[in-house]
Amino acid sequence: MILKVIGSGSKGNAYLLENEQEALLIECGVNIMDIKKAVNFNISKISGCLITHEHGDHAKSICEVLGSGINTYATFGTFTNSKAGLSLNSSRQKVIPQKGEFQVGNFKVMSFPTIHDVAEPCGFLIYHKDCGVTLFLTDTVYSNFTFSGLNNIIIEANYDEEIINEKLGDKKFLRDRIYNSHMSLDTCMEFLEANDLSQVNNIVLIHLSDSNSHELNFAKKVSAITGKTVSVADNGMTINFNKTPF
Ligand SMILES: [Zn+2]
Ligand SMILES: [Zn+2]
């Protein structure tokens, strides 16, 4: 199993968990063509698309994804506030609970609520025998939950409080919007420290804000406190997500 980063950050997010036979698309906040290219135009390989919330950088291509015949999984609040709305005729629209379990191909998924300025946002805990348990957590101020038995972690580290204070100190509205909807590097590290990381192979930092973060420092800091392999998601990057990497 590999993780393919199609897009990460406020310009657009889309990630693919992929093995030889199947793929799970997480978010569709990039152009549909980039999604198609990522699977070499073998769309039928995609078992489904998970969407955390309706913001364009996560759900921009929702209509095109549905139109391509891909089953799409999102909460009622996310569907109704997205470009697609909630068409009761579309059998491809799979309404999921904000907290619950469902199956997508061979992926077992658990959704759980996150804290963001939208209707009904959620994060995902994804299990597949190849990659074990993978956590996907983004666009949330913090997490109300801790998890055990994780093998891979994909998590938002949006901004550095020091940098943001320096840059946006006089732009209170902008600064507060980020504070009240995204995860800081410090909160991300606190979360990681609160979880059992003994089985974790990879920590992938996503959704870094271009101007309020510093990639290398972020990876270094997280690696220093966790002792784990830490990557900063970059468009086009692939990472070995096998439960047993060797
Ligand atoms: Zn976002
Ligand atoms: Zn958002």
Q: How far is the CA of 169 from the centre of ligand 2 (A)?
A: 22
**CA 35 – CA 181 distance, rounded (Å):** 26
Q: How far is the CA of 115 from the centre of ligand 1 (A)?
A: 12
pLDDT tens profile 93-105: 999 999 999 999 9
Higher pLDDT, 25 or 88: 25
**CA 121 – CA 228 distance, rounded (Å):** 28
pLDDT tens profile 21-53: 999 999 999 999 999 999 999 999 999 999 999
Q: How far is the CA of 138 from the centre of ligand 2 (A)?
A: 8
Phi, psi (rounded to 5 degrees) for 127:
-115, 130
Q: How far is the CA of 41 from the centre of ligand 1 (A)?
A: 26
**CA 93 – CA 84 distance, rounded (Å):** 9
pLDDT tens profile 51-82: 999 999 999 999 999 999 999 999 999 999 99
pLDDT tens profile 134-180: 999 999 999 999 999 999 999 999 999 888 888 887 888 888 888 88
107 and 17 in contact (C-beta within 8 Å)? yes
Q: Residue 206, class by beta-carbon neighbours within 10 Å (0-12 exposed, 13-18 middle, 19+ buried)?
A: buried
CA 138 to chain centre: 5
How much is the pLDDT for 88?
67
Q: How far is the CA of 154 from the centre of ligand 1 (A)?
A: 14
207 backbone φψ class: left, alpha, beta (φ>0; ψ -120 to 50): left
230 and 222 in contact (C-beta within 8 Å)? yes
Tell me which ligand sits closest to the C-alpha of residue 78: 2
**Domain locations in the chain as residue ranges:** 2-240
How much is the pLDDT for 68?
96
pTM of the complete model: 0.96
| Mean of per-residue pLDDT scores for the chain | 94
44 and 66 in contact (C-beta within 8 Å)? no
166 and 140 in contact (C-beta within 8 Å)? no
Residues within 5 Å of ion ligand 1, judged at the Cβ atom: 57, 139
**pLDDT class for 86, splitting at 50, 70, 90?**
confident
Q: Is the confidence at residue 207, as pLDDT, over 90?
A: yes
| CATH fold of 2-240 | Metallo-beta-lactamase; Chain A (3.60.15)
**CA 15 – CA 38 distance, rounded (Å):** 9
**CA 242 – CA 131 distance, rounded (Å):** 5
Q: How far is the CA of 245 from the centre of ligand 2 (A)?
A: 32
CA 150 to chain centre: 15
Q: How far is the CA of 10 from the centre of ligand 1 (A)?
A: 5
Q: How far is the CA of 196 from the centre of ligand 1 (A)?
A: 26
24 and 17 in contact (C-beta within 8 Å)? yes
